[in-house]
Amino acid sequence: MKESRLHPRTLMGTKVRFGIDDPIHNGISYDFSSNGMSIIGDEVLPAKSNIIIKIDTENGGDVTVEGKVIWVSSIPDLPSKMGIKFNKPNGRLIRN
Q: Domain locations in the chain?
A: 15-88
User: Which residues partner with 86 through β-bridges?
Assistant: 67
Instruction: Name the residue among 21, 10, 81 with its Cα closest to residue 54.
Output: 21
For the domain spanning 15-88, the CATH number is: 2.40.10.220
pTM value > 0.75: yes
Per-residue pLDDT of the chain (96 residues; tens, 9 = 90+): 444 445 445 556 789 999 999 999 999 998 888 789 999 998 899 999 999 999 887 776 788 999 999 999 988 888 899 999 999 876 666 544
DSSP string computed for 34-65: SSEEEEEES--PPTT-EEEEEEE-TTS-EEEE
- What residues contact 92, with CB distance under 8 A and at least 6 apart? 63
For residue 51, the model assigns a pLDDT of 97
For residue 96, the model assigns a pLDDT of 40
